Homo-oligomer: A and B are copies of this chain.
């Protein structure tokens, strides 16, 4: 997900960090699950040192928690945290869009329509290749946000996206079937592009917030389904 390709140039810690993060975000390791060193060593084929380094990094990213002398656990999930992450994400995304509309140049607009086109072409293949659709969806929104031209803000945005994607994946995992209702709302995308090209900041911010808060409400509705397990 992050640095998908296996980086042989990096040290073990960095490689394991990527794989472990992916395993947590995709739900291979469940929330609150204890992360036994023996198991991790087995799975990633490395010693304790690189593992502890990777886990240390994931603590900062709030995907792992640690308790002294009691090892590491996957960060727990809660409806409250989920809602807070999505709300913050909505605000940050709106902030990016606001700044992007201020600083936005032709290059930026071109990037958006290009990404929108690639997403549109995949419109009907969501069911077959959800992963590729995911990538294009993400690329679409990143194209929009990147117009803010602020590495710091975009870094925050990415971190929040990752944390949210864990909740999203857990939801997908525990409610087999219609992912469409979740966030395949082409209409919203089209509307968004429209108001962005028109330079309507107020409307764009409203749209993007709804685009993110809608899914969070869907997650909240079905919360009991995968929380009572």
Q: Which positions in A face B, CB cutoff 8 Å? A: 9-11, 13-14, 49, 52-54, 56-57, 59-62, 68-69, 81, 84-85, 87-88, 91, 95, 99, 150-153, 155-156, 160
Contact = CB atoms under 8 A, between A and B. Distances in A.
A81 B152 CA distance: 8
A152 B88 contact: yes
A11 B52 CA distance: 12
Interface of A is mostly: helix
9 contacts: A11-B69, A54-B56, A60-B61, A62-B155, A81-B151, A88-B150, A88-B153, A91-B95, A91-B99
Contacts of A152: 81, 84-85, 87-88, 160
Given A84-B153, A91-B153, 4 more contacts: A60-B61, A84-B152, A85-B152, A95-B95
A86 B64 CA distance: 29
Nearest to A9: B68
Contacts of A156: 88, 156
Contacts of A150: 84, 87-88
Nearest to A149: B84
Nearest to A155: B62
A13 B56 contact: yes
Contact of A53 (B11, B56, B61, B81): B56
